[in-house]
Amino acid sequence: MKPIIIGIFLVAFSLAAGAAVVGEPVEYRYGGTLMKGYLAYDDAVMDKRPGILVVHEWWGHNEYARNRAKQLAGMGYTALAVDMYGDGKLANHPKDAGKFAGEVKKNMSVATERFKAAMSLLQNHKSVASEDISAIGYCFGGGIVLEMARRGLDLDLVGSFHGSLPAVKPAEKGVVKAEVLVFNGADDPFVKQEHIDAFMAEMAHANVKHSFTNYPGAKHSFTNPDADKFGKQFELPLAYDQQADQQSWAALSKALNSIYK
């Protein structure tokens, strides 16, 4: 099912000299569920360019996901921060976040169709080269983009940042089209060594081009500057790590450049 665009509202701002990054809150549907995303691109560039999907943390589609979309737009991509929960639903407490994420994960067929709806919206945008699509995700979103790769969606690259590794549907030989990058905090208590071992064995068995990077001392949510605040507020092992954040983003940028040149 193709997404239906309900409304677009434009707000322009400049990230750098010569750049005119445009932010568009977008609404689309899968089935009876309204999805509220955010599209960012540089409208000073006339050529069509690759599109990148950005999947939010378990808190939901928030400003952090939008900021990553803007960052990608400033690098010359068109980026869509997607809504996997529906209606732009946000959690203010880990109990709600866990509930929202769990509802998605227990029905991955619906999650896949929601992702495909966002992907279709991105592919059909005027600025996007429809055959050049990749996806990145954070925490919950990192696990989601890995699952989309496992299901054989036509993605060039997926990047998971402090995401969950256990497979709902393990990768099979000849199915995964994407190159897979995983950026993990070595001190993340939510990612066990057995998860890492199983993931690496899964990727090798399925002959998937992949890389796994562990950042010493980095905890869960290491790319999010608000992680320290959330960690303190809810007594969770979350912490921002500037070095790991910058290094993982540089590695993603390099990989995207290598694919799309």
Q: What CA–CA distance (Å, rounded) separates 49 from 124?
A: 12
Share of residues in the chain with pLDDT > 70 (%): 93
What pairing do the DSSP bridges indicate for beta strands 21-30 and 33-42?
antiparallel
Q: What whole-number distance in Å separates Cα of residue 93 and Cα of residue 130?
A: 37
In this predicted structure, the answer to whether residue 9 has a pLDDT above a threshold of 70 is no
Which residue ranges form the domains of the chain, and what is each CATH number? 11-260 (3.40.50.1820)
Q: Among 8-17, 95-104, 201-210, where is mean pLDDT lowest?
A: 8-17
Mean pLDDT for all residues in the chain: 93
Condensed to tens digits (0 to 9), the pLDDT of residues 63-100 reads: 999 999 999 999 999 999 999 999 999 999 999 999 99
